[in-house]
Amino acid sequence: MADQSRHRTQSHRETRKNRNDTTGWSRRKLLNAAAAGVGTLALAGRARAAGRKPSNYGQTLKARPGRRTLGANDKILMGIIGSGGMGRHHIKSMSGREDVEFVAVCDIYEANRNKGIKDAGGKAKGLNEHEKLLEMNEIDGVVVASPDHWHERHLIDSVMAGKDVYCEKPMSWSIDQGANMISQVRRTDRIVQVGMQRRSTPAIMEAKAIIDSGFLGEVSLVRAHWYWNMGDLPETLELKGKLDWNRFQAPLPPEKRYPLTPRSAVKYGYWRYFWEYSGGNMTDQGTHLMDVIQWFMNDSRPPLAAQEHGAAYQIKGYETPDTFCAIFEYPKFMATWTLTYTNNWHDAWAIVLQGRKGTLECDDRGARFYKERWPHNWEDKPPKPVHEIKGGPNVALHEANFFDCMRSRKEPNCPVEIGHQAISALHLANAAHHAKRRAVLDPDGVTIRIP
């Protein structure tokens, strides 16, 4: 599916050699985490606020077994649902492996479907409906790279069809959908990897080990930011081929659907900036960074509460904010998450953890540790890091972990529980944005309250 809002390509710095790792998340631990973090799957904040019933999609579906046990030398046959920009990146990256072949490309937009088939080598079957792709018995695994509002259906339908899944982030459109996705996935024996590649990044994993050793001391403040300078959206969009507009809108309530016109087509081409289809940049970019923060500092658990302010200050056409700042409350520290798409100071993202004994800075270059205290004249003679780990995120490492787990049947580095807990923080912040008040996450990990 299209996402013309992507004005960036994968970082050329993401080139480190594959180093597979597992997080130590046993199936028992994952299920215990689900019980603690997801609780009773009670009424969820976004569903309640919108007057909808909590999601129960897939509860009546019968899970089918996988078609085979993959041997060490078996070629993995893949399909993809959503061959927009990120989807085609996965096609090209995964197809570069000798043990992987894409045999089907599904997209509701003819132009993207044809591009995906070409990137897959020209022989893959092109499909409009994902149900037809899932009927193909030869397929072992599926990449879900569709817009956020389709993730729940595409993921659940895929695992119920006996397919392993690499699901792009953010995992869910709403917190109740995320909870339901966990429930349905755990009814099956399928492998699901959520596309938060920092979980498979050697520099981030090494930084986590150093933090656990106590180098930083007690940390009270963590800061995350993302700065890009993006252009305005067009007022109209001319499509280059057929688009199944009705299917694109299918997850929406009938009252929120409207006819396809050159003006409404903009919402398809730039869906990340409209609330019906996405959580905006809060969830899109935030899921990467808040996951790292929670992994480092809070055993991957979401915050207790959040506040947020933001708006579409400058970029014409945005419905979701182009600039915002969110504050997250955790039991022993606070975190801030700031983004603007109107200025690219330092260009892209960074996370800074400030402790009593030291500071950690993570970004695309890697991770750097500094000792306290900084001298008053630090600008004249900037302190050098006492330890530096070079290398930024690499999607190929995360993909490799997924394929390894398809063969071993071990849990991947980023299973659905982790994907859900990371995005829960951002759904909470968006609830605060819409209410213009502090939002609290109940202990069940699903219900959002606005005191």
Beta-strand pair 439-441/387-390: unpaired
Weakest mean pLDDT among 130-144, 151-165, 364-378, 424-438: 364-378
Name the band, by pLDDT with cuts 50, 70 and 90, for residue 52.
low
Cβ proximity of 280 and 430 under 8 Å: yes
Q: Quick check: is 62 in a domain?
A: yes
pLDDT score of 104: 98
H/E stretch holding 425 = helix 416-435
Pairwise pLDDT comparison (341 vs 73), residue with the higher score: 341
List of residues 6+ apart from 177 with CB closer than 8 A: 55, 57, 151, 152
pLDDT score of 54: 80
Using CB atoms within 10 A of its CB, is residue 331 exposed (0-12), middle (13-18) or buried (19+)?
A: exposed
419 beta partners: none
CA-based nearest residue to 194, from 418, 35, 363 = 418
Provide the Cα torsion 431, 434, 435, 437; round to 10°. 70
Q: Quick check: is 234 in a domain?
A: no
Number of folded domains that form the chain:
1
pLDDT score of 323: 98
Cβ proximity of 358 and 216 under 8 Å: yes
pTM of the entire structure?
Answer: 0.89
Supply 200's token pair: 């498979």
Using CB atoms within 10 A of its CB, is residue 170 exposed (0-12), middle (13-18) or buried (19+)?
A: buried
Q: Quick check: is 213 in a domain?
A: no
Q: Where are the alpha helices (DSSP H) in 41-109?
A: 45-49, 85-95
Q: Quick check: is 171 in a domain?
A: yes
Mean pLDDT for the stretch of residues 226-249: 97
Mean of pLDDT over the chain:
90
Cβ burial 271-305 (10 Å sphere, 16+ → b, else e): bbbbebbbbbbbbbbbbbbbbbbbbbbbebbbbeb
- Residue 3 clears pLDDT 50, i.e. is over it: no
SS3 308: strand
- Residue 409: what residue type? R
- Which residue is listed with tokens 């072949």? 101
Q: Quick check: is 45 in a domain?
A: yes
Q: Please give the residue range of the domain that contains residue 142.
A: 27-200+396-415
Using CB atoms within 10 A of its CB, is residue 388 exposed (0-12), middle (13-18) or buried (19+)?
A: middle
pLDDT score of 31: 46
Mean pLDDT for the stretch of residues 284-304: 98
Q: Quick check: is 4 in a domain?
A: no
One DSSP character per residue, 183-226 reads HHHTTS---EEEE-GGGG-HHHHHHHHHHHTTTT-SEEEEEEEE
Segment 301-330, tens digit of pLDDT: 999 999 999 999 999 999 999 999 999 999
Give CA–CA dist 366/426, Å, rounded: 24
Q: Quick check: is 73 in a domain?
A: yes
> What strand order describes the sheet that includes 348-355?
387-390, 366-371, 358-363, 348-355, 219-227, 334-340, 323-329, 305-311, 439-441, 448-449
Give CA–CA dist 217/76, Å, rounded: 45
Pairwise pLDDT comparison (45 vs 238), residue with the higher score: 238
pLDDT score of 224: 98
Name the band, by pLDDT with cuts 50, 70 and 90, for residue 13.
very low
Segment 380-426, tens digit of pLDDT: 888 999 999 999 999 999 999 999 999 999 999 999 999 999 999 99
Q: Quick check: is 451 in a domain?
A: no
CATH number at residue 45: 3.40.50.720
Provide the Cα torsion 190, 194, 197, 201; round to 10°. -50
